[in-house]
Amino acid sequence: MKTFHKSHKLDNVCYDIRGPVMDEANRMIARGETILKLNIGNPAPFGFRAPDEVIDAMQSNLTATEGYSDSKGLLSARQAIADYCVNVKHIEGVTPDDIYTGNGASELITMSMQGLLDNGDEVLVPAPDYPLWTASVTLAGGTAVHYICDECADWYPDLDDIRSKITPRTKGIVIINPNNPTGALYPRELLEEIAQIARENGLIIYSDEIYDRLVMDGLEHTSISSLAPDVFSITFNGLSKSHLIAGYRCGWMTLCGEKSHVKGYIEGLNLLSSMRLCSNVPAQSLVPTALKNAYTTKELLVPGGRIYEQREFIYNAINDIPGMSAVKPKAAFYIFPKMDMRKFNITDDEKFVLDFLKEKKILLTHGGGFHWETPDHFRIVYLPQLDQLQQAAEGLRDFLATYRQA
Ligand code: PLP
């Protein structure tokens, strides 16, 4: 019989977030075991509910959104997004024509790379990264060149490392701000320096800002696109996280800044956008309501709010475990702790996560899944309630008291 393999296009696509750990977790679940999942940034299973008016907006628009929309999205949605970009994010000159809605930001991340890259082109991607970026660059035939984000500097991108990795084939630079998996939020001065590097080297900036409304400690998110109107940039955003509706698949990308030299690229994006007809139209229809109420999650992010208190707890608990440390996240709902490799004799972070899963029934993601090369990190999603986070922290403390890799 004819056998079928995955396409060679996927040969170098590495999306480690699936793999042996997830396989084991699925086997355990199939056996009826209960697992505490700290591995995926999906708010709904942890009791976070979308704002009522957002649900109402989608429900009341269901009949009117049965058909395809314009391939970029409903004008009402794109106008609301353009207004958000101009009035809230201070990005000059954005119009509905610059916006593409997508089935989550994910679809558009892939589309932006498919439209740009020829075989062998390079894109600078952070390490650690949200792995879809590396996978999308690779699937599009490009090479993801990882630049280091420095844990000793609040996980900010290392500018010298970025500069040293630019070659004549480099077409773009990706930043993830606020960051998954580190929870870092980049200050304006740093963004200005990244913009300057892009300017000097003719790079397109790809700024993943999906967590821009999940910022704590009185800080504010700055969009790099607001700082560099002379540079072409694309921002990525959506409602999965800020409005706790990851399952509705509602995201968008915005083309910002100088466009005279990227007309051909935009033509390619329009073509790719038309090929998928349009994104989920009922989800688009709630965007104006959602963005009018852009601050619905604010109460979760201040003292007394769930995300804030859970962040405080996990940050303190991790730093309290001998041999572990973590930088305090400023945004999103992830923490990326470091293990003392010598103390635990760790040489394989994926094995650590697998061993921990088997013994404690708690699911983490190993640092390698985020293209972090040294096997000394893992990511915790701190969305679960405090009692579950307490269980996780106690599990880690107990496990690491004796764990040593052979
Ligand atoms: N970008 C980052 C940094 C993410 O963490 C995620 C999801 O976790 C996405 C993009 C994808 O978001 P969406 O649900 O809009 O596809």
- Predicted confidence (pLDDT) per residue in 19-67, tens digit: 899 999 999 999 999 999 999 899 988 989 888 899 999 999 999 999 9
Quick one: which H or E segment has residue 114?
helix 104-116
User: What is the architecture, at CATH level 2, of domain 67-292?
Assistant: 3-Layer(aba) Sandwich (3.40)
Ligand 1 site-directed mutation target among 125, 180, 333, 371, most atoms within 8 Å of CB: 180
Q: Which atom of ligand 1 is nearest to the CA of 103?
A: 16
Distance 344 CA to ligand 1 centre (A): 32
Type of residue found at 248: Y
Query: In degrees to the nearest 10, what's the CA dihedral of 204, 208, 213, 217?
Result: -90
Distance 17 CA to ligand 1 centre (A): 13
The pTM of the full predicted model, rounded to 2 decimals, is 0.96
Distance 210 CA to ligand 1 centre (A): 6
Residues having CB closer than 6 A to ligand 1 are: 41, 104-106, 130, 176, 180, 208, 210, 238, 240, 246, 251
With both helix axes pointing from N to C terminus, report the angle between 104-116 and 263-275 in degrees, rounded to the nearest 10. 130
In which residue ranges of the chain is CATH 3.90.1150.10 found?
A: 8-48+299-400
Ligand 1 site-directed mutation target among 110, 210, 212, 383, most atoms within 8 Å of CB: 210
Distance 295 CA to ligand 1 centre (A): 19
Q: What is the pLDDT of residues 179-226, one digit of tens each?
A: 999 999 999 999 999 999 999 999 999 999 999 999 999 999 999 999
The domain 8-48+299-400 is classified under which CATH number: 3.90.1150.10, 3.30.950.10, 3.40.50.2300, 3.50.50.60? 3.90.1150.10
From 31-45, 113-127, 171-185, the region with the lowest mean pLDDT: 31-45
Average pLDDT score over the chain: 95
Distance 342 CA to ligand 1 centre (A): 34
In which residue ranges of the chain is CATH 3.40.640.10 found?
A: 67-292
Q: Which atom of ligand 1 is nearest to the CA of 40?
A: 8
- Please state whether beta strands 378-381 and 365-366 pair in parallel, antiparallel, or not at all (unpaired): antiparallel
Question: How far is the CA of 141 from the CAs of 52, 120, 133, 268, in angstroms?
Answer: 43, 6, 13, 16
Q: What is the pLDDT of residues 228-246, one digit of tens each?
A: 999 999 999 999 998 889 9
Nearest CA to ligand 1 atom 5: 180
Quick one: which H or E segment has residue 148?
strand 143-150
Query: In degrees to the nearest 10, what's the CA dihedral of 371, 373, 376, 380?
Result: 0
Distance 132 CA to ligand 1 centre (A): 8
pLDDT surpassing 90 at residue 406: no
Distance 98 CA to ligand 1 centre (A): 20
